[in-house]
Structure 1
Amino acid sequence: MNRNSIIAILGIIVGGLLLAVLILASNPAADHDEHQHEESTDHDEDFPRGPHHGRLLSQDDFELEVTIYETGIPPQFRVYAYQDEKPLPPAAVQLEMTLLRLGGRREQIGFKPVDGYLLGDRVVEEPHSFAVKVEATFASKTYSFQYSQEEGRVHLPPAALESAGISVETAGPAEIERVLKLPGTIEFDQNHLAHVVPRVGGIVVEVRKRLGETVTRGEVLAVLESRDLAELKSRLATARKRLQLARSLYRREEQLWRDKISAEQDYLRAKTQLAEAEIAVATAKDQLEALGLDTDQAKHSVNLARYELRSPLNGTVMEKHLVAGEAVKADARVFVIADLSEVWGSFNVPANDLNRVRIGQQVRIQAPELGYETQAVIDYLGALVGEQTRSAPAHVHIENPERRWRPGLFVSVEVIEEKIAAPVTVSLEALQTWRGNEVVFVQSGDEFEVRPLKLGRRDTNKAEVIKGLVAGERYAVTNSFVLKADLGKAGATHQH
């Protein structure tokens, strides 16, 4: 490498060093510890800035540099005082600040001197959007300053609000429910369910009810012809005839014995035969009544083999297992009748949650796919824990006059453990995330301002507000994400 090349390279290096020094000198606050949000800096030149990159307020030879420090700590005002561009001792300045926020909320901030600056005595809550009034006293002279800064606000007139489908609600008191969520199913009410069996074998000659039809108690479902039934009816008829003869013989022998014409032994024999005949009739009647037959009607029946299968309750035919001409056995389940006006919501309670559930507790049953919801109370909680499931069965009674709750439907069960009165609540639908905080958009006129919240207990619909919102303030609920999107487009910046 020749001498001219070395000189050229050295010149480039020296020029680069000089340029770097000039860049650092032109930005003395680049290494300063005052934190700025890493967002758009389009507005950095909207107002004068001081050595700490804060807003510079000037009057005569007195200046205040206002910053908000929030690196690793909650945001607080730090104010630096100058006279003739020279720093003043913080203790030499008395300072007060008033913040006027959207909706007329006022915040008064006092200051105390610390190392090199005046420190505000309260946290500056987000968003940092407010009109500011500053009163400073130095050397027996009072200086007043005013300025405003905006962030986290969206302007939306009523027409645009309606077009975006944004609904607004008022924050206020409500009950927060603590619930235990469990899966469940709709089942038949076992107290209103009947398996219909013939109780006598026979041949189906007529089926009167179809699957899904409504029936009433005592209504004929099907007609069978049964040889066994014919034999029982014949046995009853024979027993009744024998009873008539035995009764007639008894009356004749009783009269002859009283007239001392026949022996007492004949009278006693006739009495015994009468008792046996009565027993035979009673036995035959019991056998027929056990089949659900009216023995008085059976006495006048022409077809001894005819057997009418009747419904034992009011309800709906849920199952049908017979057709005309089919032979059925006495214990065959031919119909299932269910009264669907009341059903069960059944669920299992895990063993580790049993201390949270009790009989009589309020329960909310939901079928989200169908949009159904109802409330009931726990009517049954099993005394045993299943070996396989490690849970105890439970159910509630659900009134079902419109037959909407169909057995077999999967449902969500919410056991309400307690209800807590919260002074201020918001809808969960309204919550959005902004700078790592849960927020709502509070309305004031045509303006919506993002409001970070400190939330407490919550249920499926509402959350308790501990800090950030007061009762009576109105906030966006439905489609509030539209406001968040508009806020992102606006590029909300800190103007510290």
Structure 2
Amino acid sequence: MKVLTILLQSVLLMSALAVSGQVVYAGGHDHGGEAEAVEEKGPNGGKLLREGNIAAEITVFETGVPPEMRVFIYRDDQLLSPEEGKLSMELHRIDGQVDQISFKAEGDYLRGEQTVVEPHSYDVVVRLRVQGKAYEWKYESHEGRSLINDAMAKASGIETDIAGPQTLDITRQLFGVIEVPIDRQAGIYAPYPSVLEQIHVAIGDKVQAGQKIATLRNIKTLQRYNVKAPIGGEVVEWMASIGQRVDENSLARVVDLSKVWVEMSAFPEDIEQLALGQPVRVADMHQHEIAPGEIIYIAPQMTGGHIARARALIDNGNGHWRPGMHVKADIRTAQRDVELAVRNEALQGFRDFTVVFGRFGDQFEVRMLELGQSDGEYTEVLGGLKPGTEYATKNSFIIKADVLKDGAAHDH
């Protein structure tokens, strides 16, 4: 079903593109149906820019060093000494930022003195002066872009959010078992030697406190009397049958399962993080049901296996949480305010990075992130994204697929 949903979303997106009369290629270029010209490459594999008999080969070098521009200068296709040229470069990014790159001679090339930050996606202006003559080139170098307007985004179910401050809930996960609270179970006894004459409720019946449970006859006085439920709850057990003599032994057991305990096992490093009153989020092992609660007890000592018991109380009005059920519990041990965070559903893998796709008008562009702590819903962003950036959340994988459909080459 998930695969079918993805296919349908892709069809909707491509249909919207067809209606708009545009063909969108990886990188977000609109080629209007015409074949893209093959750009000329230089001897070092870089983009070759020509004017007259002067040429500049633009490369981005990132092997063992932060990404940097390296430019080779040629006259009549012969490599010139880098000291013969004076070079500057502007990188105009989609969000309006302009990176100024200055160069100095090194080896047989001019090396950029500023790191070229990811993504390597920009409109480039190159200014070169050789022997007193000025040359200027402009070109596009886009990666990780996709052109998707509002109609296309709506058709494919793409949603966005604004990156900004967030309070992270720092949690610790423990495993446990559902148990009946001691104060919510009661045994029903005969007060004196009697014969059980009549049972008024069956196992599984719900009873109210004070409700008649059984009728007995006192063996000594032969008088009949009734026993009643001391608490409201569910009858879970009968230990006697009609006609049986009962003395002080238990007749039945009633439990109130409207609230239950979550008995959790905690190692020493867990116990150090726990405190009474901490919020707990309990889930069954298949994540079918989730219930909130709080820590009500932490054992004062460890067992022989160096495990301590921690206990939470949760509501069980719908009866989902059955005694003996194994569960897992996320305990909020702290809260932390961070300056910038994004939703986890927005995160995608792209090359060797974890990314989100920022929205800039009708275009989405990849943003490589440096990430910090996560609470399962939001993740702290330490770098790679500006505060206030609109970014794709739901169905962001569709944007990634559009970017990658013609290959994911990191080409400069």
Q: What TM-score, normalized to structure 1?
A: 0.70
- Identify the match of residue 431 of structure 1 among 344, 347, 358: 347
8 Å CA contact 2:196, 2:246 repeated in 1: no
What is the aligned partner in structure 2 of residue 363 from structure 1?
280
**Residue aligning to 1:335:** 252
1:87-486 maps to which residues of 2 (within 5 A)?
Answer: 87-228=79-220, 230=221, 304-323=222-241, 325-367=242-284, 369=286, 371-387=288-304, 389-486=305-402
C-alpha distance in structure 1 between counterparts of 2:287 and 2:56, whole Å: 64
Change (3 A) 1:478 1:322: farther
- Aligned residue for 2:69, secondary structure, equals strand
Report the counterpart of residue 15 of structure 1 in structure 2.
Answer: none
3-state SS of the aligned residue for 2:192?
A: coil
- Map of 1:34 onto structure 2: none
CA distance in structure 2 between the partners assigned to 1:202 and 1:131 by the alignment: 96
Return closer, same or farther for 1:342/1:59 CA change in 2, 3 Å cut-off.
same
What is the letter of the counterpart of residue 437 of structure 1? F
Structure number having the greater helix percentage: 1
Q: Check 1:440–1:359 CA distance in 2 against 1; reply closer, same or farther (3 A cut).
A: same
Q: Deviations over 1:116-154 (max 9, x none)?
A: 211112332333221111223344443322100222223
**C-alpha distance 434-338 of structure 1, shift in aligned 2 (>3 A):** same
Change (3 A) 1:384 1:69: same
Per the TM alignment, residue 75 of structure 1 is displaced from its structure 2 partner at its CA by: 2.1
Q: Give the C-alpha shift of residue 46 in structure 1.
A: 2.2
The answer as to whether partners of 1:201 and 1:327 remain within 8 angstroms in 2 is: no
**Counterpart residue identity of residue 172, structure 1:** G
Letter in 2 for 1:364: R
Tell me which moved more, 423-432 or 160-169. 160-169
**8 Å contact kept, 2:369–2:383:** yes
- CA–CA separation in structure 1 for the residues paired with 2:178 and 2:151: 46
Report the CA distance shift for 1:344/1:310 in structure 2 as closer, same or farther (over 3 A): same
CA drift of 1:446 comes to: 3.2
The runs of 4+ residues in structure 1 deviating greater than 6 Å are none
**Aligned-residue RMSD, C-alpha:** 2.5
| Conservation of the 8 A alpha-carbon contact between 1:175 and 1:419 | yes
Superposition deviation, residue 222 in structure 1: 0.8
Count of aligned positions = 378
User: Which residue in 1 is equivalent to 2:19?
Assistant: none
What code does the residue aligned with 1:219 have? Q
- Give the secondary-structure state (helix, strand or coil) at the position aligned to 2:272: helix
Cα deviation digits, residues 161-184 of structure 1 (max 9, x gap): 344333322222212233221112
Task: From the superposition, tell whether residues 351 and 179 of structure 1 become closer, same or farther in structure 2 (CA, over 3 Å).
Answer: same
Q: Is this contact kept in 2: 1:201–1:226, CA < 8 A?
A: yes
8 A Cα contact 1:174 1:425, kept in partner: yes
The structural deviation recorded for 1:363 is 2.4
Deviation at 1:461, TM superposition (A): 2.0
Report SS of the residue matched to 2:309: strand
Whether the 8 Å contact between 1:44 and 1:495 is mirrored in structure 2 is no
Partners of 2:178 and 2:76 in 1: CA distance: 82
Distance between the aligned counterparts of 2:54 and 2:101, measured in 1? 21
> 1-side partners of 2:109 and 2:315: how far apart?
71
Q: Which amino acid aligns with 2:309?
A: P
CA distance in 1, matches of 2:167, 2:187: 45
AA at the equivalent of 1:398: I
Q: 1:315, CA displacement in angstroms? A: 2.4
TM-score (norm 2): 0.83
In the other structure, the counterpart of 1:69 is 61
- SS of the equivalent of 2:190 reads coil
2:45 partner letter: H
Contact 1:194 1:337 in 2 (8 A): yes
Deviation at 1:160, TM superposition (A): 4.0
